[in-house]
Amino acid sequence: MTLGIGGSNIKKELENMTSIVRNTVSISKSEYYERINKLTSIMKKHNVDAIYLDSSTNLSYFTSINLHPSERLHGAVVLPNGKIYYICPEFEKEKTIDLIIIEGEMITWQEFQSPTKILINLLNDLIKPKSILAVDEMTPLFIFDSISKFNNQFTLINAEEITKLCRITKSKNEISIIQSAMNITLEVHKATARILYEGITTEEVQQFLVDAHLRLGADTAPVFKIVLFGEASAYPHGVSYSQSLKKGDMVLIDVGAGLAGYCSDITRSYVFGDTNQYQKQIWEIEKEAQMALFETAKIGAECQMLDAAARHVITKNGLGPKYNTPGLPHRAGHGIGLDIHEHPYIVEGNGTKLSKGMCFSNEPSICIYGKFGVRLEDHIYMDDNGANWFTQPSYSFEDPFGYKS
Categorize the per-residue pLDDT at 24 as very low, low, confident or very high, splitting at 50, 70 and 90.
Answer: confident
Number of H helices, E strands in the chain: 11, 17
Categorize the per-residue pLDDT at 139 as very low, low, confident or very high, splitting at 50, 70 and 90.
Answer: very high
For domain 169-389, the CATH superfamily is Creatinase/methionine aminopeptidase superfamily (3.90.230.10)
* pLDDT for residue 349 is more than 80: yes
> Residue 375 and residue 345: Cα distance in Å, rounded?
17
Q: Specify the pTM.
A: 0.96
Give pLDDT, residue 23. 81
Give pLDDT, residue 394. 98
- 29-166, which class in CATH? alpha beta
Give pLDDT, residue 373. 98
Q: What residue segments make up the domains of the chain, in order of their start?
A: 29-166, 169-389
Give pLDDT, residue 223. 86
